Amino acid sequence: MSYKAEYIWIDGTEPTAKLRSKTKIVKDGAPLPNWGFDGSSTNQAGGHASDRVLKPVFTCPDPIRGGDNVLVLCEVLNPDLSPHASNTRALLTEVAERFADQESWFGIEQEYTFFKDGRPLGFPIGGFPAPQGGYYCGVGADEVFGRDVVEKHLDLCLAAGLEISGINAEVMPGQWEFQIGPLGPVEVSDHMWIARWLLYRVAEDFDTAATLDPKPVKGDWNGAGAHTNFSTKAMREAYEPIITACEALAENAMEHVRHYGHGIEDRLTGHHETAPWDKFSYGVSDRAASVRIPWQVELERKGYIEDRRPNANVDPYVVTRLIVDSCCTALEKAGQV
């Protein structure tokens, strides 16, 4: 017998990469081979030397096709098997290995927005719904739009074995969130990319599009972020390392923000539960700070921090690499490992 392997990869679209996938029929018992694709159609090669290589790096059951079928997340390589310039996972694995002894954990909150017929789900033709207030974690047909897709997506993530930890309706109609983690930097990112692929894929079946646009509606409507919760072993055991991590993020603030997703200035305005993109701050319980220390973390004197800056369209391989690099370097220097 043969089974279907859906090879999934991240393309080279600028400024924000897209997901691509295609199906390989694999003979039972055979290992998943490297595969090729036309890089000139994905902004990953010119037309004259267009071949690029797909290298399987993470496999899980395909919850849509069922049976023995699998989803296969891939890294993109050049024909000489070096990582392609768009391959941010290869950069992360290096940094993650360097600081593996600090046992970093991440939980990423992925916000997104459903669109149908050119407007967010729940928005009336040519106008706006009632202002924000009742939609967040709401219930009822006048508050909540798209729950059928969201429930299906949650079930698919669970059936695929992804470490999804929750879902909620967000502040703007048609806007939702799911959380992945806590997991190590590479694992949380692999699970996130598969969860994103499943979201787009299942929304197809409902004739709906999901977007990670960080500011899908201009004006007095919340943007969409990817709050990134982070801890190391030392931070999970004591409070001092929590402050060291916050100070490390302060020191590298602009370098981080530059890579936290295209269009970040439009979302991090200082309004709608955000801090301005060019002014770093951290604080306990503070949803208007760049980085929040949850109240129970201050109380228990240990735990994790929440970087509230990353856009919904951030590359998880990039945000986790920057945070591990900045914070683990500082923690090492401070002897807090």
Binding site for ligand ADP (CB under 6 A): 105-107, 109, 165-166, 179, 181-182, 227, 229-231, 236, 303-304, 306
Q: Which residue is nearest to Mn ion (CB)?
A: 227
The binding track of 189-228 with respect to Mn ion, each residue x by CB under 5 A or -, is --------------------------------------x-
Tokens coding 153: 């997506």
Say if residues 225 and 322 touch (Cβ distance below 8 Å). no
Kindly report the CA angle at 106 between 293 and 43, in degrees rounded to 5?
A: 120
The residues, ordered by sequence, that sit 6+ positions from 4 with a Cβ below 8 Å of its Cβ are 23, 24, 25, 26, 62, 65, 69, 70
Say if residues 34 and 44 touch (Cβ distance below 8 Å). no
Strand order in the sheet with 2-10: 19-27, 2-10, 70-77, 51-61, 35-38
Query: 55 or 256: whose CB is closer to Mn ion?
Result: 256
Query: 63 or 223: whose CB is closer to Mn ion?
Result: 223
For position 307 contacting Mn ion by CB under 5 A, the verdict is no
Could you say which residues in the range 96-125 bind Mn ion, by CB under 5 A? 109
Say which entry of ligand ADP, Mn ion, none residue 229 contacts (CB below 5 to 8 A, set by partner kind). Answer: ligand ADP
Say which entry of ligand ADP, Mn ion, none residue 50 contacts (CB below 5 to 8 A, set by partner kind). Answer: none
Query: 139 or 295: whose CB is closer to ligand ADP?
Result: 295
Q: Which of 312, 303, 307 is nearest to 324 (CA)?
A: 307
Q: Kindly state the smallest distance separating residue 31's Cβ from Mn ion, in Å.
A: 39
DSSP string of 118-186, one letter each residue: TEETTPPTTS--SPSSS-TT--STTT---HHHHHHHHHHHHHTT--EEEEEE-SSTTEEEEEEEEE-HH
Query: 42 or 231: whose CB is closer to ligand ADP?
Result: 231
Q: Which residue is nearest to ligand ADP (CB)?
A: 107
Binding-site size for Mn ion (CB under 5 A) equals 3
Selected binder of Mn ion within 177, 187, 190, 307 (CB under 5 A): 177
Query: 286 or 332: whose CB is closer to Mn ion?
Result: 286
Say which entry of ligand ADP, Mn ion, none residue 107 contacts (CB below 5 to 8 A, set by partner kind). Answer: ligand ADP
Write phi, then psi, for 176 (nearest 5 degrees).
-140, 175
Farthest-apart Cα atoms in the chain, separation: 61
Binding region for Mn ion (CB under 5 A):
109, 177, 227
